[in-house]
Amino acid sequence: MLRSVAALVLPEMAVFEFGVICEVFGLDRSDDGLPVLDFRICGPEAGVALRTTSGGRLIPDHGLDGLRGADLVAVGATRLREFPDEVLDALRAAHADGATILSVCSGVFVLGAAGLLDGRRCSVHWNAVDELRARHPLAQVDPDVLFVDDGDLVTSAGTAAGIDACLHLVRRELGSAVVNGIARRMVVPPQRDGGQRQYVDQPVPECTIDTLAPVLEWMLENIDQDHTVGALAARAGMSGRTFARRFAAETGTTPVRWLTLQRVLRAQRLLEDTDLSVEEIARDTGFGGAALLRHHFRRRLGVAPADYRRSFRACGPAEVAAGLASAGS
């Protein structure tokens, strides 16, 4: 049962991620019939101001002793990568006493420095995956998900994924009725589908081999057509075996997988920028039918095309104008 939460704040703290922790766990929603948690903000020293990444300062009411006895210790994002021994000792002690440890975004580096990630599944913002793996090679980093629940260790991906992790913990500890009430007040879904793969920038690989670059360009210009390795090799003036070997050396993958990725990338742009149906986009990108597009799209990004469009659909001029008129009324 979740009754008490200690939010650990450190210098160079990210305000949004800290605010997420406060919003989910720290507000009194008793008027809505929701439980009120014992919420305390703890820093290295009580009453000593900490600078945030936004330039402001925050003064914690509690020192590290405030972590003692908490059911949950929540660590927000920070730019720091080196941490005082007393902070790490307090975090380890809270964990040993039975507290669940939650990190939001780069807060996971605090957990890693305390040795809590060794042999454990965890997540972090996709842009920090390589750094986390390099600093903590024993951690099992999952780069594709919004958060990882590993029992007494819950870690989220970047920024808004912290909302998902916090609400998940509420659901796990206090039930669906409580999490639905909190989510309704926050005007967010109590649970999102998919993972952070859909947010990762996936640039088209460049090609430096002169004999391959024109072929890749032609494939992209004719992405709606079927392409066989034999036909592509002939266009490049190579044998099939030589073409496949050079293609893999240059792009790191096979012609079929490369083309499938480019088709998914093209589908992403069309879902964002056009009103074409999923079936029309499937034809225009060479998948042939909506079923095959959905299969490869979900496999690559973790969400269905329709869900991706709802999240990333660009507003046209008429929609922008309507939004501005609504805001001014």
Phi-psi region of 239 (alpha: psi -120 to 50; beta: other; left: phi over 0): beta
Q: 0.75 cut: is pTM over it?
A: no
| Tokens, residue 49 | 């101001």
pLDDT of residue 15: 94
Q: Which residues of 54-75 are buried (b: 16+ CB within 10 A; e: fewer)?
A: eeeeeebebbbebbeebbbbbb
pLDDT of residue 328: 40
pLDDT of residue 211: 65
pLDDT of residue 192: 58
Domain spans, the chain: 4-197, 213-312
pLDDT of residue 39: 98
Assign domain 213-312 to a CATH class: mainly alpha
Contact 104, 17 (CB under 8 A): yes
Residues 6+ apart with CB under 8 A from 82: 113
Contact 266, 285 (CB under 8 A): yes
CB count within 10 Å of CB 224 equals 14
Contact 298, 304 (CB under 8 A): yes
Task: Report CA-CA distances (Å) from 118 to 60, 127, 133, 135, 154.
Answer: 29, 21, 11, 11, 14
pLDDT of residue 201: 47
Largest CA distance in the chain: 74
Task: Return d(Cα 129, Cα 143) in angstroms, integer.
Answer: 6
Q: What string of pLDDT tens digits covers the 329 residues of the chain?
A: 899 999 999 999 999 999 999 999 999 999 999 999 999 999 999 999 999 999 999 999 999 999 999 999 999 999 999 999 999 999 999 999 999 999 999 999 999 999 999 999 999 998 899 999 999 999 999 988 888 999 999 999 887 889 989 998 998 899 878 888 888 888 776 655 544 444 444 444 455 555 687 888 888 889 999 999 999 999 988 999 999 888 887 777 888 988 998 898 889 889 888 899 999 999 999 999 999 999 999 888 778 899 888 876 654 434 433 433 433 43
Q: 4-197 has which fold?
A: Rossmann fold (3.40.50)
Q: Which residues pair with 154 in a beta bridge?
A: 102, 149
